[in-house]
Amino acid sequence: MKLRYGMVGGGEGAFIGAVHRTAAAIAGNWELTAGAFSASPDKARRSAAAIGVARGYDSWEEMLAREAALPADTRIQAVAIVTPNFLHAPVAIAAMEAGFDVICDKPVAESLEAARAIADAARRTGRRIAITHTYTGYPLVKQARDLVAGAGAVRRVMVKYTQDWLSRAADLEGNKQAAWRTDPKRSGEGGATGDIGTHAFNLVEFITGRRVKSLCAELGALPGRTLDDDASALLRLEGGAKGMLACSQVCVGDANDLQISVYCDELGLHWRQEQPNTLRVGRRDRPEELWHAGSNRAYLAADIRAIQRTPGGHPEGYLEAFANIYQAFGAELLTGKAADGAPGYATMDDAIACMKFIHAAKQSSDAGAVWVDLDTL
């Protein structure tokens, strides 16, 4: 049995739409049935034809209205939102009010206020929503979380996510992806902090199992840019752990370098997205351990082996991690039952924590790198 879904955005010239569609196909429990793939009706129609979706619509409003009017065994059951950030809230809220569950790209909205409006709609309608913070779908990231949970107190965490695709002024010229990400009207108040900093922040909270309580940040941008393209922050976590976060899209030579180190009472561990199938673990007075992904690696937890599709030595990566999120959310929607333990996808609580990070980082930087308590936001 598959979940019928419609997609908003992700048509001609889009990057993340194809990623979502591929992930859903790998997951195996989703079927793309409808779509409003562009704000331009012409592009929306061409995209639907190119993707092979018979029920293509000229707008997301038309899709929601016409799908809701179809028989229950025909209409879509969920909506995937892969638009620029400013459309996430209106589409998500309207979709839930029309009776559809939602899976949405990150960050969940363009502002903390809009994110809270989505959460309110979910509570009011009883619909479910998942946010695709991709990197928590990697098996060894989940294994890292398990190891940290049994390693005593977390002392320090360090995470960096650095890219170079916006390192030149000319990188914005004729680049659709850069254009909306650097436009506050479409991206919201976060540039690099919203686009990739939220991934780093979410990874900190996911692996440590602790919320960030406060931060002190400094944001920067190349001349002529309104939104940040470079940021760093000191973090204070629940339980007294300290942290450092850096995110940048102007670090020359770094294509997509996300890496995290977590130090606990009993061990330190290190994971890097560019080598996602290896987790390095260090302990005092013992040899360094290298943990490897693979469905046949008996030392991995059973639930972690279960989300891998190939034996050790056959690398899985970004698309498979994305698929794990789709699979987990789809299983919950199809069965009506929440999974035991962590749900397998980022929740609205996780998403709102990330929105607080974006807002607090800007607030801190604007005030001269002062400490901001996230609980007050």
Per-residue pLDDT of the chain (377 residues; tens, 9 = 90+): 899 999 999 999 899 999 999 999 999 999 999 999 999 999 999 999 999 999 999 999 999 999 999 999 999 999 999 999 999 999 999 999 999 999 999 999 999 999 999 999 999 999 999 999 999 999 999 999 999 999 999 999 999 999 999 999 999 999 999 999 999 999 999 999 999 999 999 999 999 999 999 999 999 999 999 999 999 999 999 999 999 999 999 999 999 999 999 999 999 999 999 999 999 999 999 999 999 999 999 999 999 999 999 999 999 999 999 999 999 999 999 999 887 778 999 999 999 999 999 999 999 999 999 999 999 99
Structure confidence at residue 196 (pLDDT):
98
Indicate the domain borders of the chain.
Answer: 3-127, 138-311+352-366
Structure confidence at residue 240 (pLDDT):
97
Structure confidence at residue 377 (pLDDT):
97
Domain 3-127 annotated CATH 3.40.50.150: no
Structure confidence at residue 339 (pLDDT):
76
**Fold held by 138-311+352-366:** Dihydrodipicolinate Reductase; domain 2 (3.30.360)
Structure confidence at residue 213 (pLDDT):
98
SS (H, E, C) the chain: CCEEEEEEECCCCCCHHHHHHHHHHHHCCEEEEEEECCCCHHHHHHHHHHHCCCEECCCHHHHHHHHHCCCCCCCCCEEEEECCHHHHHHHHHHHHHCCCEEEEECCCCCCHHHHHHHHHHHHHHCCCEEEECHHHHCHHHHHHHHHHHCCCCEEEEEEEEECCCCCCHHHHCCCHHHHHHCCHHHHCCCCHHHHHHHHHHHHHHHHHCCCEEEEEEEEECCCCCCCCCEEEEEEEEHHHCEEEEEEECCCCCCCCEEEEEEEECCCEEEEECCCCCEEEEECCCCCCEEEECCCCCCCCCHHHHCCCCCCCCCCCCHHHHHHHHHHHHHHHHHHCCCCCCCCCCECHHHHHHHHHHHHHHHHHHHCCCCEEEHHHC
Structure confidence at residue 253 (pLDDT):
98
